[in-house]
Amino acid sequence: MKIFNLLTLVAVLISTPLATSSVSAATSLNDAQACHLQPVAQSPASLQHSQSVGVLYSENTLNNLQYLTDYHAVAQRTARNNALDSRIRDAFINSSDPKLAIDWLTGSLQKEFASVTVYENLDAVIQARPDVVVMLDTYNQLVSKRNNQVEARYLARFYDADLQYIGKAEGATGKQLPSVWVQGKAAPEIAAQIDQQRDLQVTALRQFDASLKALVMQAARDQVAAN
Residue 139 class from Cβ within 10 Å (0-12 exposed, 13-18 middle, 19+ buried)? buried
* CA nearest to 15, candidates 73, 59, 85: 73
**pTM attached to this predicted model:** 0.82
- Residues 193, 175: contact at Cβ < 8 Å? no
Q: What is the pLDDT of residue 75?
A: 86
Distance CA 56, CA 120 (A): 7
**pLDDT by residue for the chain (227 residues), tens digit each?**
444 444 445 444 544 344 334 333 333 334 433 445 655 557 767 899 999 999 999 999 999 999 999 999 988 887 666 667 888 888 989 999 999 999 999 999 999 999 999 999 999 999 999 999 999 999 999 988 788 899 999 999 999 998 999 999 999 999 998 876 666 778 888 889 899 999 999 999 999 999 999 999 986 676 655 65
Q: What is the pLDDT of residue 17?
A: 41
Query: Count of domains in the chain?
Result: 1
Q: What is the pLDDT of residue 19?
A: 39
Distance CA 64, CA 70 (A): 10
Q: What is the pLDDT of residue 62?
A: 95
Q: What is the pLDDT of residue 41?
A: 57
Q: Domain containing 66: what range?
A: 3-226
Q: Rounded to whole angstroms, what are the CA distances from 130 to 52, 125, 126, 135, 136?
A: 5, 7, 8, 13, 15
Cα 95–Cα 100–Cα 102 angle in degrees, nearest 5: 140
